[in-house]
Amino acid sequence: MSRKHLSEDQIQRMIASDPEAPEVTDDQLAEARPFSEAFPALADAMRRNMGGRPKAESPKVAVSLRLDQDVVARFKASGPGWQTRMNRALREAVGL
């Protein structure tokens, strides 16, 4: 499949001919306001809901740890969630 390469002039003509995306006028630019100023409630809601996982009360700490292969293999063999189960086993081993 070959792609047709458009010249800059062709691209500009296509942009100008799009009725759904007219060029912005100088007057419109002069009236433009930041999103957070134009829609403060919506901007605030978007800032609060950035997605991702909720913050944990006691976040985990990343560590680098060398373990015996057979120990890791045994936990992995138990399926998804093996790291959580390993954490639980370590907590029990230290009396937490």
Of the two residues 13 and 1, the one the predictor is more confident about is: 13
Amino acid symbol at 70:
D
pLDDT for position 34: 95
User: Would you say 75 and 85 are in contact if contact means Cβ atoms under 8 Å apart?
Assistant: yes
Query: What are the pLDDT digits (tens) for 2-50?
Result: 678 899 999 989 888 888 888 889 999 999 999 999 999 999 988 887 7
Query: What are the pLDDT digits (tens) for 59-75?
Result: 889 999 999 999 999 99
What are the extents of the domains in the chain? 8-50+63-93
Closest CA to 67 of 40, 43, 86, 49: 86
Whole-model pTM over 0.75: no
Q: How far apart are CA 49 and CA 51, in angstroms?
A: 5
